[in-house]
């Protein structure tokens, strides 16, 4: 269940109220992620993250500045 | 609401007037404690341990803690209702509700923002009942209705004569963190409020996850909290004190009073 680890990346940032525009490969070195998940994080591709199973509340929390409202 | 204090000033004024009226009524009702039906926003519970329903039995709760900066309201601890919470947990399990328990909860907007406006003194004990509304699969609305009915029976059979208020937070329609974030469906919100005003809350309990997701968005799933309160007072007609679909707050915001 890889999206568990994708969500863990976001959860750990959300818990600390850390916002991001994108999350690069160096920041997720220790996580069990698929190449597609790593790419979506690196690109800050919110639609792709959603499609890959990232929890939308966590997407919102971490990438808040990327939303128009 | 609090994070963007300058947004939508007219809607803000109207909605806060509704909350002020709710606060006036709450104080007039002289509750000894408040049972709050709320949902976690993936801050206390993550996918490694994610309860469908959880009772907060701690002596205090953070509301808010680290989220204070973002929410722009003061960090504070509010009193819990530990003895009541432990009794609700034990009797709930006995009655067949497989409730989880937490002794240490940190709230974000779920409790912090309504408490900021309705209970600014921070003296009224809060017993939180958390429902998973944010990480599907979710418990059914019907189950939340049934849980609310149990909570009512629990309150009625307590040995003391404490006065108890029930508060539900969350919802109504909003799409959050999803590709169409910011969408609001006022028609659905007004239908939800209409069913409550008519005392037909059981219709909401019949909704499916798919129906709510389609009409109320992923954030609309939070009406499970409302449904639990409605299940505690079936047939009671609600009075809508305010409704504003506020784009800047991403949400259809409703305030409804039910008196028993």
- Contact assignment for A17 to B67 by CB distance below 8 Å: yes
**In angstroms, what separates the C-alpha of B237 from chain A's closest C-alpha?**
32
Nearest 5°: CA angle at B246, between B243 and B249? 120
**Helices assigned H by DSSP within chain B:** 9-28, 68-71, 82-94, 109-118, 141-156, 186-197, 202-205, 209-220, 223-232
Most distant CA pair in chain B, distance: 50
Question: Residue B41: its chain A contacts at CB < 8 A?
Answer: 57, 61
Give the distance from CA B33 to its chain's centroid.
15
Q: What chain B residue is nearest to A45 in terms of C-alpha separation?
A: B179
DSSP code of residue B126: E
In angstroms, the separation between the Cα of residue A53 and the nearest Cα of chain B is 11
Which residues contact residue A8 at a Cβ distance below 8 angstroms, ignoring those fewer than 6 apart? A31, B46, B47
- Report CB contact under 8 Å: B47, A4: yes
| Of B247, B189, B255, nearest in space to B217 by CA | B189
CB contact under 8 A, B41 and A50: no
Residue A2's pLDDT is 67
Q: Which of B237, B65, B81 is nearest to B165 (CA)?
A: B81
Q: List chain B pLDDT tens, one digit each, 260 residues.
A: 999 999 999 999 999 999 999 999 999 999 999 999 999 999 999 999 999 999 999 999 999 999 999 999 999 999 999 999 999 999 999 999 999 999 999 999 999 999 999 999 999 999 999 999 999 999 999 999 999 999 999 999 999 999 999 999 998 999 999 999 999 999 999 999 999 999 999 999 999 999 999 999 999 999 999 999 999 999 999 999 999 999 999 999 999 999 99
A·B CB contacts under 8 A = 53
Q: List CB contacts (< 8 A) between B176 and chain A.
A: 56-57, 60
Q: Which residue of B has its CA nearest to A2?
A: B47
pLDDT at A1: 47
Residue A42: other Cβ atoms inside 10 A: 15
State the pLDDT at residue B211: 98
Question: Any CB–CB contact under 8 A between B152 and chain A?
Answer: no
Residue B184, classed as helix, strand or coil, is: coil
Distance from CA of A26 to the nearest CA of B (A): 24
Distance from C-alpha of B221 to C-alpha of B204, rounded to nearest angstrom: 11
Are the beta carbons of B247 and A47 separated by less than 8 Å?
A: no
Classify B243 as helix, strand or coil. Answer: strand
CATH topology of domain B9-257: Protocatechuate 4,5-dioxygenase; Chain B (3.40.830)
Residues B145 and B230: their CA atoms lie apart, in Å, by 7
Residue with token string 């328990």: B101
* Residue ranges per structural domain of chain B: 9-257
Beta bridge partners of B53: B131
Task: With CB atoms and an 8 Å threshold, state whether A61 touches B134.
Answer: no
Q: Is A56 close to B176, i.e. CB distance below 8 A? A: yes
Which residues have a Cβ under 8 Å from the Cβ of B257 and sit 6 or more positions away? B21, B22, B25, B238, B239, B241
CA distance B118 to chain A (A): 25
Q: Is B122 left (phi over 0), alpha (psi -120 to 50) or beta?
A: left
Q: What does the pLDDT read at residue B60?
A: 98
How far apart are alpha carbons B108 and B67 in whole angstroms? 6
DSSP notation for chain A = -HHHHHHHHHHHHHHTT---S---GGGGTTS---HHHHHHHHHT-HHHHHHTT--HHHHHHHSGGGS--
CA distance A29 to chain B (A): 20
């Amino acid at each position: 269940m890889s999206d568990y680890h994708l969500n863990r990346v976001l959860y750990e940032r959300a818990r600390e109220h850390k916002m991001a525009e994108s999350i690069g490969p160096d920041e997720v070195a220790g996580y069990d992620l698929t190449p597609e998940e790593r790419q979506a994080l690196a690109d800050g591709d919110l639609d792709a993250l959603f499609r890959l199973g990232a929890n939308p509340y966590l997407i919102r929390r971490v990438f808040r500045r990327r939303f128009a409202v | 609401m609090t994070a963007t204090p300058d947004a939508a000033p007219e809607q803000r004024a109207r909605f806060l007037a509704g909350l002020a009226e709710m606060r006036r009524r709450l104080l007039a009702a002289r509750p000894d404690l408040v049972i709050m039906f709320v949902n976690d926003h993936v801050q206390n519970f993550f996918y490694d341990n994610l309860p469908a329903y959880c009772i907060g039995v701690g002596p205090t709760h953070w509301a808010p803690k680290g989220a204070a900066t973002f929410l722009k309201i003061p960090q504070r601890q509010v009193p819990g209702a530990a003895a009541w919470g432990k009794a609700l947990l034990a009797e709930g399990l006995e009655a067949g509700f497989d409730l989880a328990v937490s002794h240490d909860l940190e709230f974000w907007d779920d409790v912090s923002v309504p408490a900021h406006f309705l209970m600014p003194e921070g003296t009224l004990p809060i017993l939180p009942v958390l429902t998973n509304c944010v990480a599907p699969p979710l418990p059914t609305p019907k189950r939340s209705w049934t849980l609310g009915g149990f909570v009512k029976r629990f309150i009625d059979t307590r040995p003391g004569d404490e006065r108890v208020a029930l508060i539900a937070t969350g919802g109504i329609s909003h799409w959050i963190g999803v590709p169409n974030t910011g969408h609001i469906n006022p028609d659905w919100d007004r239908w939800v409020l209409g069913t409550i005003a008519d005392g037909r809350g059981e219709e909401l309990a019949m909704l499916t996850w798919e129906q709510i997701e389609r009409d109320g968005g992923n954030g609309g799933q939070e009406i499970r909290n409302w449904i639990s309160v409605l299940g505690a007072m079936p047939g009671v007609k609600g009075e809508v004190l305010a409704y504003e679909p506020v784009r800047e707050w991403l949400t259809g915001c409703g305030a409804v009073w039910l008196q028993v």
